[in-house]
Amino acid sequence: MSFSKNLKLLNYPVVTVFVLWCMALVVVFVFSTYITWTEIVGVFENLRPKDGIMIALMPIITLILNGLLSHRAKAVLVYWRLRNPLPGCRAFTKHAVIDERIDTVKLAKKLNKTPTDPSEQNALWFELSKKYADRPVVFNSHKIYLLSRDLTVVSFLFLIIGCTTAVLKHGSIMAVAPICSILLVQYLLLSISARNYGNRFVCNVIAEFVTDEP
């Protein structure tokens, strides 16, 4: 099993709880007459192990939702870029030069030739990320980036699911505006957070490389 897959497994409990949260929002806003915090919490309270099979299926549901999109598609949802969306594509020409921890002169010397092509940057950065994967700062930033990225993907999927379901159920713009607005804001906030965590992960790898003495 790859290192990143191990990290994803560590994040699965949090992602599963977030899936439940999104499901509760959709159920309450689409199928309930009165929309209150108590109604949303009530959805969680009704999902007790003795009440049904949903809890048992939640890990499978989370696994399916998280596997619907490729890592590149997930990066598109985080970085809002169709071309070269992976954070490593701008590792040396953008992220490294604005990080105060990174000595760019020393970095250039250690690299010998700094790549400028996005795919070459990503390939080199990915190689470095594997080399320093067990460093605490890299490990932790990788873990939080994967978590925030996966939460972003789940929020986007429920944005589509929730809005579509609401339209089919009510057929009114006024009726679907609340759920669509909440899910949209949730996705936007998570995507911005994931982007920042991703950039930090990229810089942490480079910082370890620069300060690593042979």
* Reported pTM: 0.85
Q: In this predicted structure, what is the pLDDT of residue 63?
A: 81
Say what percent of the chain tops pLDDT 90.
54
Residue range 22-62, pLDDT digits in tens: 888 887 777 665 555 565 565 555 655 545 555 666 778 78
Q: Residue 32, by phi and psi: left (phi above 0), alpha (psi -120 to 50) or beta?
A: beta
Q: Cα dist. 7→53, 57, 81, 117 in Å?
A: 27, 21, 25, 29
Q: Which residue has the higher pLDDT, 121 or 164?
A: 121
Phi first, then psi, for residue 81 (nearest 5°) are: -125, 130
DSSP-assigned letters across all residues of the chain: --HHHHHHHHHHHHHHHHHHHHHHHHHHHHH-SS--HHHHHHHHHH--GGG-SHHHHHHHHHHHHHTSS-HHHHHHHHH--SSS-SGGGGIIIIIGGG-TT--HHHHHHHHSS---SHHHHHHHHHHHHHHTTTSHHHHHHHHHHHHHHHHHHHHHHHHHHHHHHHHHHH--HHHHHHHHHHHHHHHHHHHHHHHHHHHHHHHHHHHHHHH---
Q: In this predicted structure, what is the pLDDT of residue 197?
A: 97
Burial class (CB in 10 A: 0-12, 13-18, 19+), 197: buried
Residue range 178-190, pLDDT digits in tens: 888 999 999 999 9
Instruction: Name the residue among 138, 185, 157, 150 with its Cα closest to residue 75.
Output: 150
Residue range 128-176, pLDDT digits in tens: 999 999 999 999 999 999 999 999 999 999 999 988 888 887 777 777 7
